[in-house]
Amino acid sequence: MTCRKRHVRNDGPNRVVRFSAVLNAGAALLLISPDVHAAETARLIGLVNASMEASVEAAIIRGDRVVEIVSPGGEAGMAWVIGEKLREAGVAVRCVDVCASAAAQILFTSGHCIVARQGRLILHRPQIAQAGLSASAFAVLDGIAMRQWHVEMAKAGVPDDLVFRTEQAFRGELELNDYAVKRMGCAVE
């Protein structure tokens, strides 16, 4: 299966026609949505890092009102920074596929998050690399990371019981259901 997505301007500077051609067993499907406007939606795909922060800043400068995100996660500290920038700019963040770890933090830190029908929001507890650490050093670092995580989650408005459930979950990962997503203040499509 091959998917291609293009943006083609049509009927003036703000009108855009978005189409996708999907080829499967020789058949083609053409999807057209002419009501999508240029300079309204940006898409962020990949790891949460300095490169994604630069893309967010560019989207804010362009005047994008919505940022769609698909990410397995990345740098937690950068996620808090990106989420705050989006909150200050009044930009909505929409999870359109898997938004795990740092990507989930961007969503709920932004203050205006939307989870698409196919979106999956996954939290996990902070993870410390154990290489070369004694058990006591690991425990100290883990405790510091957990305290900082609790503070940031509380600032973002994540309910305490979801933070606790994430800590206790298998591998420290918790995929949120629609009810939990709504409790975090996100809209569900």
pLDDT tens for 22-69 read 323 333 333 333 333 444 889 999 999 999 999 999 999 999 999 999
Residue 21, pLDDT score: 29
Q: Indicate the CATH number for domain 39-188.
A: 3.90.226.10
Instruction: Judge whether residue 169 has pLDDT over 90.
Output: no
Give the predicted TM-score (pTM) of the model: 0.72
Instruction: Judge whether residue 9 has pLDDT over 50.
Output: no
Listed in sequence order, the residues at least 6 apart from 122 whose beta carbon sits closer than 8 Å to its beta carbon are 98, 99, 100, 101, 104, 173, 174, 175, 176
